[in-house]
């Protein structure tokens, strides 16, 4: 679906009541209202109804009004590296080249590409995000990007960092640990405790690669050599469990306020741990295929009661930051999944992962008055959902 054919409707506090009409109102992935309207006053949804009032109606067309898209994991700061880091030389080579090329990007170019990527996301229907940044360049830009959600400062290595938690309207600034194989256990524990003390969401890349799993299991192998070459001393790291997920649990990192990202190299026992602890899961299948030539076990996760969110990772590993593209990819590669479950991954599941389900993810009274119009029509609600997750016009 052409991003220019979509329409994001953003309401503001103090605006008078308006009724937004469309051929179908998608309350959530399983509930819709034909020929309905959404009543919005200020920046809040008042009602969703089938009755169309006689005045103050904005008719958006025969398509569908739904909740905006949620990209629960991305790296805006890498937008300048679009199509510049090859995938065919292996993950470690990709990481090495990524770091080298990112360091060479002039600050003004990074700012320009971040702003451009954010504008494109907003125009294509994205409002809420979970953005990860390890540099300081993005943070001052955040209030001006037109996006809401969590902006995580990410930390690697062994030095305990200074952390900053604050909230500005619908923007929350917090912290993320990069991953168990790049960040010391002491730093990860410190970051999670800081997030917990501030009632904030915590994010961590987890079980993304075979290299990570080998390092956690043995503290040897290619990744150990990579860390040593970069001057990171891991000799004192206390690793007590055999998989990245089990290691994260042993450190107290896993609970309802943690987002585990990727979960590509997992055992059934790992998935049981994630389900028991209530850890939120965010998957980036297109990036996984590009960097690792494999995909996460989404069906097995859902069998365990896990409800994954979707992210795109960065433009350095994925061709777009568009969650509709991500949903279409999942739909093609996991044909057994219910289309409603896939749509939930890009909306309400992402909202739950970011801790903003009371504000977005569905069109219910009291939630944010931001709407997304898609020019998609179908004879039945089921066919409509199928067309949306297929990214068809």
Residue 300 sits in a domain of what CATH number? 3.20.20.140
What per-residue confidence (pLDDT) applies to 345?
98
Whether 240 and 200 share a structural domain: yes
Q: Which distant-in-sequence residues (6+ apart) come within 8 Å of 350 by Cβ?
A: 69, 70, 71, 72, 128, 130, 282, 309, 310, 311, 323, 361
Give residue-wise pLDDT tens across range 187-222: 999 999 999 999 999 999 999 999 999 999 998 888
What per-residue confidence (pLDDT) applies to 13?
84
Whether 316 and 367 share a structural domain: no
Q: How far apart are CA 234 and CA 220, in angstroms?
A: 10
Q: How far apart are CA 192 and CA 202, in angstroms?
A: 6
Percent residues over pLDDT 90 in the chain? 81
- Give the burial string for 322-339 (b: 16+ CB within 10 Å, else e): bbbbbbbbbbeebeebbb
Give residue-wise pLDDT tens across range 11-58: 888 888 899 999 999 999 999 999 999 999 989 999 999 978 878 899
User: Looking at the 3D structure of the chain, how many domains does it have?
Assistant: 2
Whether 116 and 20 share a structural domain: no
What pTM did the predictor assign? 0.96
Whether 100 and 176 share a structural domain: yes
pLDDT(87) > 70? yes
Whether 211 and 156 share a structural domain: yes
Q: How far apart are CA 261 and CA 339, in angstroms?
A: 22
> The CATH number of the domain where 33 resides is what?
2.30.40.10
Whether 148 and 25 share a structural domain: no
Give residue-wise pLDDT tens across range 217-234: 998 888 898 888 888 889
Whether 236 and 366 share a structural domain: no
Whether 284 and 346 share a structural domain: yes
Cα-Cα-Cα-Cα dihedral of 345, 194, 171, 362, to 10°? 30
Rounded to the nearest 10 degrees, the angle between the axes of helix 381-389 and helix 323-333 is: 100
Fill in the DSSP letter of residue 68: P
Whether 28 and 137 share a structural domain: no
Residue written as token pair 């009541």: 17
Whether 140 and 37 share a structural domain: no
What per-residue confidence (pLDDT) applies to 176?
97
Report residue 226 as tokens.
Answer: 């990579």
Whether 29 and 133 share a structural domain: no
Whether 42 and 162 share a structural domain: no
Identify the domain containing residue 20 by its residue range: 3-67+362-389
């Amino acid at each position: 679906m052409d991003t220019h054919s979509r329409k994001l409707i953003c309401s503001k506090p103090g605006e008078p009541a308006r009724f937004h009409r469309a051929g179908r109102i998608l309350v959530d992935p399983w509930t819709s209202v034909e020929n309905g309207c959404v009543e919005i006053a200020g920046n809040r949804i008042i009602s969703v109804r089938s009755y169309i009032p006689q005045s103050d109606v904005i008719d958006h067309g025969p398509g569908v009004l739904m909740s905006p898209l949620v990209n629960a994991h991305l790296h805006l700061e890498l937008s300048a590296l679009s199509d510049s880091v090859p995938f065919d030389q292996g993950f470690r080579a990709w990481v090495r080249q990524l770091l080298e090329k990112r360091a060479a990007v002039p600050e003004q170019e990074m700012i320009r590409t971040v702003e451009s990527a954010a504008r494109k996301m907003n125009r294509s229907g994205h409002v809420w995000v979970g953005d990860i940044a390890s540099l300081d360049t993005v943070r001052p830009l955040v209030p001006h990007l037109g996006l809401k959600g969590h902006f995580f400062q990410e930390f690697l290595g062994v030095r305990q960092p200074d952390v900053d938690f604050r909230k500005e309207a619908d923007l929350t600034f917090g912290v993320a640990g990069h991953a168990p194989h790049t960040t010391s256990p002491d730093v990860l524990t410190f970051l999670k405790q800081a997030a917990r003390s501030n009632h904030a969401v915590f994010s961590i890349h987890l079980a993304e690669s075979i290299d990570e799993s080998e390092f956690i299991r043995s503290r040897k192998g290619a990744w150990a050599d990579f860390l040593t070459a970069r001057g990171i001393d891991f000799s004192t790291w206390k690793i007590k469990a055999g998989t990245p997920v089990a290691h994260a649990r042993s450190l107290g990192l896993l609970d309802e306020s943690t987002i585990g990202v990727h979960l590509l190299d997992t055992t059934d026992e790992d998935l049981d741990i994630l389900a028991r602890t209530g850890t939120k899961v965010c998957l980036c299948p297109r990036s996984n295929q590009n960097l690792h030539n494999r995909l996460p076990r989404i069906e097995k996760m859902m069998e365990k009661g896990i409800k994954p969110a979707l992210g795109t990772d960065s433009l350095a590993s994925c061709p777009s930051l568009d969650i509709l593209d991500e949903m279409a990819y999942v739909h093609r590669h996991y044909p057994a999944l219910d289309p409603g479950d896939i749509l939930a991954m890009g909306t309400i599941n992402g909202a739950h992962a970011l801790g903003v389900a009371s504000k977005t993810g569905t069109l219910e009274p009291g939630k944010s008055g931001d709407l997304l119009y898609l020019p998609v029509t179908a004879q039945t609600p089921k066919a409509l959902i199928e067309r949306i997750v297929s990214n068809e016009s």
